[in-house]
Structure 1
Amino acid sequence: MIIKDFDINTRSNKTVVINSELVVVGGGMAGVCSAISAAREGISVTLVQDRPVLGGNASSEVRLWILGATSHMGNNNRWAREGGIIDEILVENMYRNKEGNTLIFDTILLEKVTNEKNITLLLNTSVYEVSKSNSTTISEIAAFCSQNSTTYRIIGHLFCDTSGDGIVAFQAGAAFRMGAETVKEFGEKFAPDVAFGELLGHSIYFYSKDAGRPIKYVAPEFALKDITKIPRYKDISSTSQGCRLWWLEYGGRKDTTHESEDIKWELWKVVYGVWDYIKNSGNFPDAENLTLEWVGTIPGKRESRRFEGLYMMKQQDVIEQRLFDDAVSFGGWAVDLHPADGVYDSKPGCTQYHSKGIYQIPLRSLISKNISNLFIGGRIMSATHVAFGTTRVMATTAHSGQSIGYGAAQCIKNKILPSDLIEKNQITQLQQTLSLNGQSIPGVAINQDTNLVNKAMISTSSTLKFSHLKPDGAWVVLDKGTAQLIPLIAGIKYSYSFQFSSKKVTAVQVQLRICKNTGHYTPDVILESKEIQLAVGVQEVEFSFNTTLETNQYAFITFLKNEDVSIRTSEQRITGILSLFNGKNKAVNNNGMQTPPSNIGIDTFEFWIPQRRPQGHNLAFSISPALDIYGKDNLCNGFVRPYLGTNAWAANLNDEKPKITLKWETVQSIKSIKLFFDTDFDHPMESSLYGHPESVMPFCVRHFKIKDQLGKVIFEEVENHQTIVSVLLSKTINTNMLTIEFYSNKKNIPVSLFEIFIT
């Protein structure tokens, strides 16, 4: 029992002091990935989150799916899903939760963070004060947890603000911006001509379910009464729910930091008015048994403050895919800007324009230009309003967030400040750390100097020589342009054979295309075009192009639309090989062709996109000479996803016991083994609502063993579903040989592996 007498003075809250090497404020996807990456490098981290769960807009409180460069598979960014920790999280979510239940996703994030012994997690804890030791250095922050009535003083060496509104950066005095820059400031042709006021608003979603019996609904008094005030109200249906209602947006003309509660109330007015319309207008008789299962209690924020870093990204960096010496991550979502009046605006809910490929993000845009020990991550990173239109999405911010975490750890270990990381030797070290952990910075390979595989004699039980895909799949009508994407070798003239079925005597135009920007996947260069004459019925046609490639890269064998013709597909699926279609994806403003106004600095080009499994079969074809693109040298070439080539070793399909043997001339002391598997970086793995056909990607090897020279098993995995398997041996082993044995029962998918890294 506790009894306290009256105190004439005010009482103070219980106060807890925490010392950390890195303090991360904001537990959205950027903050989570930053905290985990730093903790795994051995430094102490405090992660402060003002909500009861992690994930920010991806959590069960808001329920937005995580997306980034893959853009619902609706753009030309192939194999572009973000790597590293965000990939690990999404792959795990796919394995446990392919249906996209955000409550399950909450638990996955909580598990990932609490599994890290170096992280102190503070939930329901809001930062309210920042202290500085001098004008440019933060010394500590103060935060309060409403659930345990405790004040925390958190002292740190380095700070990372991923709080969304930038509470730490703001109170520390860092330079920031709100609203849109003018065209004149950065030469961005897509920038509005008014410098302030064009902010993106907030959104609140709802879910419904069938109760199995009639359910009445009486709307609250504050609900919107006149649905016609929403110009897009005719788009509403009884099946409308979740983040497909992203366009229920409001607040772009308000202060999206300080008026967020007012914006929330307006969105509640809209949401409950929409549900009243669905239930009571009489236009949706199929809604009679529907009940309102969930409505968001906090809005999903898009934009508020953006803080100025050592470099500010702009439109040209995105559209031209400019390269940076200090590149640490990448993006690929469209430049996606919304009308300021949101749901009440008669204009489309968003204006999206895509770049022709993924773009690099420099570390300098993640470091405050004013506060020496502050990283700025998430949507507050240093970018103009236009560039922010693409850098703001969650998979992109998470990818940059893990760069911050690894960078912060390097700062602590080397006793340097964040700005020192951009020096040549430091950025090279950071890029190597990121690459080894699956970041896949565009064009940056893993350095092989310390990889013992690079010194080994590599032998394999078999190597796939790619010569054909069996014609055992369905026929697909050429009602749209259809292409087979394959990596070709420079200087070689290939012969191709495809099967067609034609309703009449006709011709199909076939083109050999490549991307002007080598390493990207917009087929904007037609090297050669020819016509294939077809008779009525089924036939196999062989043809070749006189033009050969000047460099090794992916090429598109492209068949233009002819609705009288069908082409045969294959059931075989192979790492690094895809079929594409000149298709549409209205969810990301893809109508098959991007045709922006001529004066806004955006490219015109065609979209060639894959289909989701279980569709998306390759075209059946043969190629001569066979492609030698799955050799053992790929296992230590530094790339861990398709880029210019497959970058993978693959075994023959008839190899019942595939294995890789590494042999050294002398005994090696081995502490760790890292294997990079194929979890299909082309699949976006939306974290909620969407739903997916598989829990494990079809190319991923589930069962494998690693043996030493005596045949002793030093590691075995039977249920692998992850991209990277890191084997940290309890004690160093000394051996001159390792064998990796793979087990697979997939008849149409060969065993494959991108990379082995051994130290």
Structure 2
Amino acid sequence: MKIAEPQSNRSLLTRQLNTDLVIVGGGLAGVCAAITAARAGIEVVLIQDRPVLGGNASSEVRLWILGATSHMGNNNRWAREGGVIDEILIENLYRNPEGNPLILDTILLEKVVEEPKVTLLLNTAAFEVTKKDADTIESIRAFCSQNSTMYEVHAPLFCDASGDGIIGFMAGAAFRMGAESKDEFGEGFAPEKEYGELLGHSLYFYTKDTGKPVRSVPPSYALDDITQIPRWRSFNARQHGCQLWWIEYGGRMDTIHQTEEIKWELWKVVYGVWNHIKNSGEFPEAETLTLEWVGQIPGKRESRRFEGDTMMIQQDVIEQRLHDDAVSFGGWAVDLHPADGVFSELSGCTQWHSKGVYQIPYRSMYSRNIGNLFLAGRIISASHVAFGSTRVMATCAHNGQAVGMAAAHCRKLNVLPHELIDAKHIRRLQRDLLRTGHHIPHVDIVDEDDLAASAKVTASTVLRLDELAPSTETVTLESARAMLIPVSAGKIPKIGFQALSKAEADLRVELRTCSRAESFTPDVLLAEATVPVATHDPTEWTEIDFEVELDSDRYVMVCFMPNPDVTLKLSNQRLTGVLSLSQSGNKKVSKRSIQQPPEGIGIDTFEFWLPERRPDGKNLAMKFDPPLNAFEPKNVSFGPQRPTSSANAWVADADDSSPWIELCWDEPKQIERVIVALDTDFDHALESVLMGHPESEIPFCASTVRILDESNRVLAERKNNHQTICDFRVEPIQSVKLRIELEGSAAGLPVSVFRVQVFGADAELVK
């Protein structure tokens, strides 16, 4: 028994923590920053004011994780972010293809607590900053209501990933709220005059079919008159969760200090909408539905944006400008919403896409006036217009990984964030990010520590793609169809296809490519041909020789233009680096199949050519003469770990039952670590909740990876693999050869590898 005598006052239990990096905010940006920094060797304290991790992705909000893939609704092919956020999304697919947000919570928590160098403080709110001097944070204080404990956390480096920028605000970091005028940065999509309105908050609900009638009595605060919402007729009994992202409010309010008021208004709307669905009589199918869940905290879109040494602007996004200090990328549309949200007469959003993904510079990820403060998540240094793209979660997560690695470099070099901008430091930062499977467009570092770069690479077989064999299925050219294929420098191969017409018809076929490097918007016409299509035997091949020479390896698109009288044969063959597309739109991210912006807003006009999700989206039957030779073994020793200007992969022959790839050196090498990057289909968006996916494992990915030395001794093996990156730490050996054996891609799919990296004991910062 414990008896406490009366006192005039008492102090809270206080714990002192000392660490290398303090991260405030456990959304995806903070999670990926913490995991990355810990894996790179430094101690991290991650402070989260909620009981779960994930922020807007968590079970408390339930927004799907998206970034550059944009629901596969724009021309950003193979654009899923890579690195830690890819690891999380692939794990979520494996465990949770149905999209249960509670399972995602467990995955995020597991990934963090498995890192021994991360101290996780849940239900802990940071509320005070102590500064060493005007430009330097010394410590923060945070309180956990669950264990009634105060934490005083000291560190040389801090990262604000809190969403509203609580640490940056208290520390005095320069920030902005609202929209800049068109004149400030020359942004065509910016308003004529600056204004303070913001993107609002959203709050979602889930429904459940009980199989029996369910009565619904609305709370007294539910919205009485649903017709106050201009789009009220859009509500139905089928949609729930973040499919109703446009239930948004608060853009004309203070989205930080008035969040509770905004939440109450959103609750009124949600319960009013549900009352309408259940009790209006317009939805008899809702009779057996019950309201299973309503969000208790709103998902926030916009509040403070902090200033770094550079600020992302519209032109960086739309023109895909290059930056020497690029450490991440984005690809979501410039996506801005009306300030009145759900009560607006305007469309719920205005989305304008770029022709491909764009780089994000490191200089936008730290404060320009607080020397030891990193910025992560939606608060990075960006104008209101650029923020419309950079704010989405997968992009924020990818940026968070860059911040985590940068923090590790700062600690090991004993420098502040802005001092990493030296070209030598940036190249090392980019190199170490690339080693983790992180993707940075147009950045290909020669890794001096990677022994694979000096190896001779051979393989059991190599795919020479001469044919995508026809199946019995066909597709009618109601809209244009295309094959996106990697071709080598020199003359384009002759292209063969199988077509049948209801009547004698002419079919126009165009060969296109993109005007921008490593992008896939087919805005350049290389050649065209018109061929007759007969009504007889569709098994005959029609051949076209475009007579086009290319000066470099690149992707081209063979486009079959619309003709509803013509059908093309499909193929059941799928393989790495080859895609079938159609000239179409995706209503989730675009209202039309062609982006046609108004004059003068600085946005490009172009067509959308989109893939279909598996199990649809089959390739067109085609022949190539000579065969495509883009799948050589040498591809694994350099270059990006995904298709960009070429397939960048070794692909085995489809008939190879025991595929392997081998690295040989002229003299023995000290080997301690081998990293193998596999194909988990970076074109698949992998939305984390609600939508569901047709498979729990990506069919292109090898399920067994085995590493052998020169005497065929097994050094390491991973079975039942579903992840992109297989990272093997092996007992140090001297060997002149490594063999990598692979098994288990889906039936009929050839095995492929994007990259092999090999490191010895002296490799620098290879954590």
Normalising by the residue count of structure 1, what TM-score does the alignment of the two structures yield? 0.99
Alpha-carbon displacement from aligned partner over 1:607-660 (angstroms, at most 9, x marks no partner): 001000000111110011111111111011222100111110111111111111
Counterpart-to-counterpart distance in 1, 2:463 and 2:561: 30
Counterpart-to-counterpart distance in 1, 2:753 and 2:713: 22
Counterpart of 1:291 in structure 2: which amino acid?
T
Counterpart-to-counterpart distance in 2, 1:446 and 1:127: 39
Query: 2:89 — aligned with what?
Result: 90
1:107 aligns with 2:106: yes
Counterpart-to-counterpart distance in 1, 2:104 and 2:472: 36
Query: 2:763 — aligned with what?
Result: none
Query: 1:245 — aligned with what?
Result: 244
Query: 2:737 — aligned with what?
Result: 737
1:210 aligns with 2:209: yes
* 1:493–1:458 Cα change, 3 Å: closer
Counterpart-to-counterpart distance in 2, 1:181 and 1:490: 45
Is 2:458–2:634's contact at 8 Å kept on the other side of the alignment?
no
Is 2:140–2:152's contact at 8 Å kept on the other side of the alignment?
yes
Is 2:576–2:647's contact at 8 Å kept on the other side of the alignment?
yes
Shift of 1:168: 0.1
Structure 1 SS opposite 2:674: strand
Counterpart-to-counterpart distance in 2, 1:662 and 1:361: 34
Shift of 1:590: 4.5
Shift of 1:536: 1.3
Is 1:473–1:571's contact at 8 Å kept on the other side of the alignment?
no
Shift of 1:448: 3.5
Q: Which moved more, 1:335-344 or 1:662-671?
A: 662-671
Alpha-carbon displacement from aligned partner over 1:72-95 (angstroms, at most 9, x marks no partner): 000000000001000000011111
Structure 2 SS opposite 1:472: strand
Is 2:431–2:447's contact at 8 Å kept on the other side of the alignment?
no
Structure 1 SS opposite 2:270: helix
Counterpart-to-counterpart distance in 2, 1:193 and 1:222: 39
Structure 2 SS opposite 1:569: strand
Structure 2 counterparts to residues 342-421 of structure 1, below 5 A: 342-421=341-420
* 1:181–1:558 Cα change, 3 Å: same
Shift of 1:530: 1.5
Query: 1:558 — aligned with what?
Result: 559
Is 2:500–2:535's contact at 8 Å kept on the other side of the alignment?
yes
Structure 2 SS opposite 1:530: strand
Q: Which moved more, 1:406-415 or 1:694-703?
A: 694-703
Query: 2:524 — aligned with what?
Result: 525
Alpha-carbon displacement from aligned partner over 1:669-699 (angstroms, at most 9, x marks no partner): 1110000000000001000001001111111
Structure 2 SS opposite 1:117: coil
Alpha-carbon displacement from aligned partner over 1:236-265 (angstroms, at most 9, x marks no partner): 001120000000000000000000000000
Q: Which moved more, 1:393-402 or 1:463-472?
A: 463-472
Counterpart of 1:703 in structure 2: which amino acid?
T
* 1:746–1:212 Cα change, 3 Å: closer
Is 1:180–1:191's contact at 8 Å kept on the other side of the alignment?
yes
Counterpart-to-counterpart distance in 1, 2:257 and 2:591: 35
Counterpart-to-counterpart distance in 2, 1:510 and 1:645: 22
Is 2:576–2:700's contact at 8 Å kept on the other side of the alignment?
yes
Query: 1:546 — aligned with what?
Result: 547
Query: 1:121 — aligned with what?
Result: 120
Counterpart-to-counterpart distance in 1, 2:714 and 2:472: 40
Shift of 1:745: 6.2
**Structure 1: gaps of 5 or more residues:** none
Query: 2:618 — aligned with what?
Result: 617
Query: 2:466 — aligned with what?
Result: 467
Query: 2:5 — aligned with what?
Result: 5
Is 1:581–1:610's contact at 8 Å kept on the other side of the alignment?
yes
Q: Which moved more, 1:417-426 or 1:472-481?
A: 472-481
Counterpart of 1:243 in structure 2: which amino acid?
C
Structure 2 counterparts to residues 572-611 of structure 1, below 5 A: 572-611=573-612
Counterpart-to-counterpart distance in 1, 2:362 and 2:340: 34
Structure 2 counterparts to residues 204-353 of structure 1, below 5 A: 204-353=203-352
* 1:493–1:240 Cα change, 3 Å: closer
Counterpart-to-counterpart distance in 2, 1:633 and 1:749: 20
* Percent of aligned pairs sharing the same letter: 55
Counterpart-to-counterpart distance in 2, 1:519 and 1:86: 22
Query: 1:148 — aligned with what?
Result: 147
Counterpart of 2:744 in structure 1: which amino acid?
S
Structure 2 SS opposite 1:243: helix
Is 1:197–1:340's contact at 8 Å kept on the other side of the alignment?
no
Is 2:700–2:745's contact at 8 Å kept on the other side of the alignment?
no
Query: 1:634 — aligned with what?
Result: 635
Counterpart of 1:609 in structure 2: which amino acid?
L
Is 2:701–2:745's contact at 8 Å kept on the other side of the alignment?
no
Counterpart-to-counterpart distance in 2, 1:418 and 1:89: 27
Counterpart-to-counterpart distance in 1, 2:705 and 2:675: 13
Counterpart of 2:740 in structure 1: which amino acid?
I
Alpha-carbon displacement from aligned partner over 1:487-518 (angstroms, at most 9, x marks no partner): 11222142111011211111111001010112
1:649 aligns with 2:672: no
Structure 1 SS opposite 2:490: coil
Counterpart-to-counterpart distance in 1, 2:758 and 2:112: 27
Structure 2 counterparts to residues 16-31 of structure 1, below 5 A: 16-31=15-30
Structure 1 SS opposite 2:183: helix
Counterpart-to-counterpart distance in 1, 2:726 and 2:108: 19
Alpha-carbon displacement from aligned partner over 1:412-452 (angstroms, at most 9, x marks no partner): 00101100111111000000000111111001124232221
Counterpart-to-counterpart distance in 1, 2:398 and 2:705: 29
1:752 aligns with 2:752: yes
* 1:745–1:272 Cα change, 3 Å: closer
Alpha-carbon displacement from aligned partner over 1:41-81 (angstroms, at most 9, x marks no partner): 11000000000000000000000000000000000000000
Structure 1 SS opposite 2:86: helix
Alpha-carbon displacement from aligned partner over 1:394-420 (angstroms, at most 9, x marks no partner): 000000000000000000001011001
Structure 1 SS opposite 2:155: strand
Structure 2 SS opposite 1:586: coil
Alpha-carbon displacement from aligned partner over 1:549-605 (angstroms, at most 9, x marks no partner): 232210000011111111111111110000111011011014110001011111000
Counterpart of 1:734 in structure 2: which amino acid?
Q
Is 1:653–1:747's contact at 8 Å kept on the other side of the alignment?
no
Query: 1:488 — aligned with what?
Result: 487
Structure 1 SS opposite 2:555: strand
Counterpart of 2:734 in structure 1: which amino acid?
N
Counterpart-to-counterpart distance in 2, 1:333 and 1:509: 32
Counterpart-to-counterpart distance in 1, 2:139 and 2:654: 59
Counterpart of 2:603 in structure 1: which amino acid?
I
Structure 2 SS opposite 1:139: strand
Is 1:92–1:722's contact at 8 Å kept on the other side of the alignment?
yes
**Structure 2: gaps of 5 or more residues:** 760-767
Counterpart of 1:158 in structure 2: which amino acid?
L
* 1:747–1:297 Cα change, 3 Å: closer
Counterpart of 1:465 in structure 2: which amino acid?
R
Aligned residue pairs: how many? 757
Counterpart-to-counterpart distance in 1, 2:472 and 2:47: 52
Shift of 1:746: 3.7
1:695 aligns with 2:696: yes
Query: 2:764 — aligned with what?
Result: none
Counterpart-to-counterpart distance in 2, 1:341 and 1:138: 38
* 1:745–1:34 Cα change, 3 Å: closer
Q: Where in structure 1 do 4 or more consecutive aligned residues deviate above 4 Å?
A: none
Structure 2 SS opposite 1:57: helix
Shift of 1:703: 1.3
Structure 2 SS opposite 1:588: coil
Counterpart-to-counterpart distance in 1, 2:535 and 2:652: 39
Query: 1:497 — aligned with what?
Result: 496
Counterpart of 1:128 in structure 2: which amino acid?
F
Counterpart-to-counterpart distance in 2, 1:584 and 1:467: 31
Is 2:677–2:726's contact at 8 Å kept on the other side of the alignment?
yes
Shift of 1:716: 1.3
Counterpart-to-counterpart distance in 2, 1:634 and 1:4: 71
